[in-house]
Amino acid sequence: MDISDNIEKINDKIKSAAAQAGRSLEEIKLIAVSKKKSTDLIAAAHHCGLTNFGENYLQESVEKISSINSKEIDWHFIGNIQSKKSLQIAQYFSWVHTIDRAKIVNALDAAGKNLKVLIQVNVSEEKSKSGINENELMPLADIVIESKCLELKGLMALPSAPVDGKINEKEYEKMNMLSDQLKNYYSPADEISLGTSQDFELGIKHGSTMIRVGESIFGKR
């Protein structure tokens, strides 16, 4: 496995997906999801020009972030949040993609550090999935907007896994529609975090501005 080859291939795919969607490359950020991957691999990906990394597990990520200790990297928390871990998340990360309840907004805000946050939407409405339902979006958005330190930047989703190889594109359309609603209400919240190794091209087609790619960069976990 060669990380620089992998990144080059992904960048090519991002380029063609953006062109096909008539979108500018500048509005699409590649977030390298480095959970369970070593600091050496992260450093290698950083060396290839990547500056945004996503982590899911707090303990593991705190160790890696401290050891890499680079001001050039933006760290994105993309895992489930326990409120008692909020202080540490706020200390180590600059972005949090998985805001799904008022308790977490308040706990992160109490850390007193500026944070860019996204509200996670359960677009597939699967019981097992995190994220809010559509009708909870505006009330939770208000709570984030009224917080002292949290900056509402947009929405995040993890659509359902393909069934018989078929992706449910409706979930991506719904995400795009919800993003339009949110932007109408609060224009700074214009980011959409959508798409993994499996589906980032579809994410880009439906307006994703942040794709979260793990295995296609770092190999299988």
Distances (CA, A) of 103 to 114, 132, 137, 201, 214: 17, 13, 15, 34, 29
Place of tokens 């401290």: 66
Hey, which residues between 19 and 48 contact ligand PLP (CB under 6 A)?
A: 33, 35
Total number of residues that touch ligand PLP (CB under 6 A): 13
Binding-site string for ligand PLP from residue 118 to residue 157, where x marks contact by CB under 6 A and - marks none = ----------------------------------------
Contact 123, 159 (CB under 8 A): yes
Interface residue with ligand PLP among 168, 197, 201, 202 (CB under 6 A) is: 197
Structure tokens given for 70: 């680079």
64 near ligand PLP, rule: CB under 6 A: no
Question: What's the helix, strand, coil split of the chain in %, to 5?
Answer: 45, 20, 35
DSSP letter at 188 equals T
Determine the interface stretch with ligand PLP among 17-25, 103-111, 131-139, 206-214 (rule: CB under 6 A).
206-214
Query: Which residues on neighbouring strands pair with residue 154, listed in sequence order?
Result: 118, 191
Point out which span in 12-20, 58-66, 100-108, 190-198 binds ligand PLP (CB under 6 A). Answer: 190-198
Residue 18 lies near ligand PLP (rule: CB under 6 A): no
Listed in sequence order, the residues at least 6 apart from 87 whose beta carbon sits closer than 8 Å to its beta carbon are 107, 110, 111
- Span of 85-93, 141-149, 172-180, 191-199 interacting with ligand PLP by CB under 6 A: 191-199
Q: Nearer to ligand PLP by C-beta: 23 or 35?
A: 35
Q: Does 208 bind ligand PLP (CB under 6 A)?
A: no
Which residue is associated with the tokens 């917080």? 147
Closest CB to ligand PLP belongs to which residue?
214
Retrieve residue 81's tokens: 């949040």
